[in-house]
Structure 1
Amino acid sequence: MLTLTSGAVQVIRTVTANPELPPETGIRIEPGTQGADALQLSVAPAPEAGDQVVEEEGARVYLEPGVAQLLDDKTLDAAVDPQGDVSFTIAEGTGTP
């Protein structure tokens, strides 16, 4: 199962903390449109049917079924640069949540 670093947990919680969003809002990862290895991340109000749900410390990630298989042994990390732009990275193996 995909694991989340503490940085990813913090960023996801910050991105989904808008009080106007439903409480189960999370980040959804699905196949991208730019090639076989491309993934697309978006803010989602809830998981879609068949999604695998990864939840840690209030951060929710919804994985499209094919993506869940692809990322089964991976770690999701996130960082915010000085300009406030968020970047997510996926690494091999499990990280420290």
Structure 2
Amino acid sequence: MLTVTDNARTAVEGLVQENQVPAEGGLRIAEAAGQPGNFELALVQAPEAEDQVVAQSDTTHVFVDPAASVALDELTLDIQPDAEGPGFVLVQA
């Protein structure tokens, strides 16, 4: 299962608050349409019915699309410290 670092969780929390995403919403990771091996990250109001919840707290949720969950199984969501704003990266766990 995809893991999420504390730094990434904090970044998601900031984005959720800044964009006034409801409590049941969060960051959703899905395979990019027509681009195998690439992923799209988006703030969503709520997860899709089949999404896997990989991180949650009172203010933070990270959801993974079922089609992407196998590819992300042994990866960790982190942030790139030198990026302007939260630059998310997927790294080997």
Q: Is 1:63 aligned with 2:72? A: no
Unaligned 5+ residue runs, structure 1? none
Q: Are residues 88 and 20 of structure 1, via their aligned partners in 2, closer, same or farther at CA, if it must alter by over 3 Å? A: closer
Which of 8-17 and 66-75 deviates more? Answer: 66-75
CA distance in 1: counterparts of 2:81 and 2:91, whole angstroms: 17
How many residue pairs get aligned? The number is 92
Q: What does the per-residue CA deviation read over 1:73-95, in whole Å, with 9 as the maximum and x for residues that have no partner?
A: 1100024657x4321100111xx
Unaligned 5+ residue runs, structure 2? none
Q: Are residues 19 and 76 of structure 1, via their aligned partners in 2, closer, same or farther at CA, if it must alter by over 3 Å? A: closer
Percent of matched pairs sharing the same residue: 30
Which AA in structure 1 matches 2:85? D
CA distance in 2: counterparts of 1:40 and 1:19, whole angstroms: 18
Poorly superposed stretches of 4+, deviation over 6 Å = none
Superposed CA RMSD in Å reads 2.0
TM-score, normalised via structure 2 length = 0.84
